[in-house]
A and B are shown apart, each in its own frame.
Chain A
Amino acid sequence: MMLRALQHEFCAYLLDRPSRIGEQALGDMDVYHHAYRAQLLHCLQDTFEKTWSWLGDEAFEAAARAHIEANPPISWTLNVYGLGFDRTLAGLHPEDPEIAELSWLEWHLRRAFDGPDADPLDTATLGAIDWDGAVLYPVPTLTLGAITSNCAAIWTALAEGNTPPPAERLPSPGAIRVWKQALSPKFRSVDAAEERALRRLLAGAGFAAICADLADEQEIGRILGLWLQDGLIAEISEDHLPMSR
């Protein structure tokens, strides 16, 4: 058997597909079958430590094994293997949205951890700005997710070693933002006004377009102040016209 064919048969064996590798190999193929799954399970346990703690060993392992069977890795790096685990959990636990949302939060905190660095804008050096033509550029790790549960409170309790609160639905759908500040991944729940503004910001809208959605100047000032204080903005440019939205 030529090398390419042999490697195809080996991979088929690992993936529990029909394989003729047994005719070619002498030894214990089970070691590889087990090691493949154990490595991916360990990767998911490491990435989703708090989701694991929330779900318990049995339910987490069942979800991880379902994810592993449905999602063979395709990247050279295990760093990205957790992508989509929140969707696997949402499918397995549709009545418990806090599970998928907790895993979404963990995933994006992990991505922010070794995501691209960017110095936040130093407000002390900020001169006069023509806000009508300004474009705000967020730090590259900033992301925004919709939530319907108290997943943030659960994450915080688990991170602090406390007993997590019972799962609860929020009175109305909310959002949470994740980013990296000074090498540390952070998250914060955001209200409806900030969520609208963040969606505009992340879509590349100019500052004027972001403001058009907000109620008044006080609201604009509050949100901009939060963004600058949290180190969400890397650059403010007046060189480009705001994108039409």
Chain B
Amino acid sequence: MIAPFSGFGLGLRPVHYPDFLEREVPVDFVEVISENFMVEGGRPLHVLDRVRQRFPVILHGVSMSVGAADGAAPPYLKRLRALADRVEPLWVSDHLCWTGTGGFNSHDLLPLPYTEEALELVSTNIDRAQEALGRPMLIENPSSYVTFHSSEMTEWEFLAELCRRSGCYLLLDVNNIFVSGSNHGFDPASYLDGVPFDRVRQIHLAGHSQGRTMLIDTHDHPVPDPVWALYEEACRRAGPVATMIERDDDIPPLDVLLDELDIARARSEAA
């Protein structure tokens, strides 16, 4: 069981380490990319230990590959467990995706066909991961650039059933809903209609870019108006929920992100 936790946070990125270590930062939590700290030693872990003394931390991964036919690798889970035991995070999250198979790892978040076969596999993989980690997980809806002819259900139906079967919770990325909705032609409101909001424990906000043929989830722009509107709609359904802004490229000074986080606070309250 993951108890609800509401508040507003930011991703901890190296360019902002001095801010988080040396000044007052008005956030309720920080989120870190798990893999950046699944190392043997050195400055990254040293920084994380110090940040943890000041803020609750969320571990957000990109490499668990819960959708891979091969399943998540036990050595990966063992290392993530060690990090979780060290950090005592609010929760551990990763994406509804796979990253590779047959020993190859693309280091990208690759899309799944939404089939009963995939649902059973992902559910089993999450069961194993939660067992190995000793805690329930949050799974994030991905942004995607292809769909598969073989899909038998929508992404939101897949996620809802995944929560039911595995007991996992949801990290709802409203930018990803907007990006995938635009790319695949579904209505984001229909997506929200299908989300089991009692399982949502966190919301991600981010910006995106226009690619050659599709919107790309680049995390290199401020949150745009249509994503803010979708966030308000999600907040109306979720109630108070942990919210954070992801920025991974063209990262501005921390104060710029803190101003953007104030917009999230206001939008959440208005909802």
Please say whether chains A and B are actual partners in one complex. Answer: yes
Give the chain A neighbours of B110 by CB distance below 8 A.
7, 10, 32
Count, chain B residues at interface, CB 8 A:
49
Give the chain B neighbours of A43 by CB distance below 8 A.
107
Known: A1-B150, A180-B42, A183-B42. A28 touches B104 (CB 8 A): no
Q: What's the interface size class on A, roughly?
A: 35 or more
Distance in angstroms between the alpha carbons of A24 and B146 in the assembled complex: 10
**The one of B108, B144, B148 that contacts A24, using a Cβ cutoff of 8 Å:** B148
Judged by a CB distance under 8 angstroms, whether A27 is at the interface is yes
Judged by a CB distance under 8 angstroms, whether A78 is at the interface is yes
Give the chain B neighbours of A32 by CB distance below 8 A.
106, 108, 110, 145-146
Cβ of B105 and Cβ of A115 under 8 Å apart? Answer: no
Distance in angstroms between the alpha carbons of A14 and B102 in the assembled complex: 14
Cβ of A28 and Cβ of B43 under 8 Å apart? Answer: no
Binds B, one of A68-76, A93-101, A129-137, A165-173: A68-76
Binds B, one of A33-41, A205-213, A237-245: A33-41
Cβ of A11 and Cβ of B148 under 8 Å apart? Answer: no
Of all chain A residues, the one with the shortest Cβ separation from B69 is A4
Most buried by A among B42, B104, B108, B144: B42
Distance in angstroms between the alpha carbons of A7 and B118 in the assembled complex: 11
Binding site for B on A (CB under 8 A): 1-4, 6-8, 10-11, 14-15, 24-32, 35-36, 39-40, 43, 72-79, 81, 112-117, 180, 183
A-B CB contact pairs (8 Å), 27 listed: A2-B117, A3-B115, A7-B101, A8-B101, A10-B110, A11-B102, A24-B113, A25-B149, A26-B147, A26-B148, A27-B214, A28-B145, A28-B146, A28-B183, A28-B212, A31-B214, A43-B107, A73-B105, A76-B76, A76-B105, A77-B63, A81-B107, A112-B42, A113-B42, A114-B39, A114-B45, A115-B41
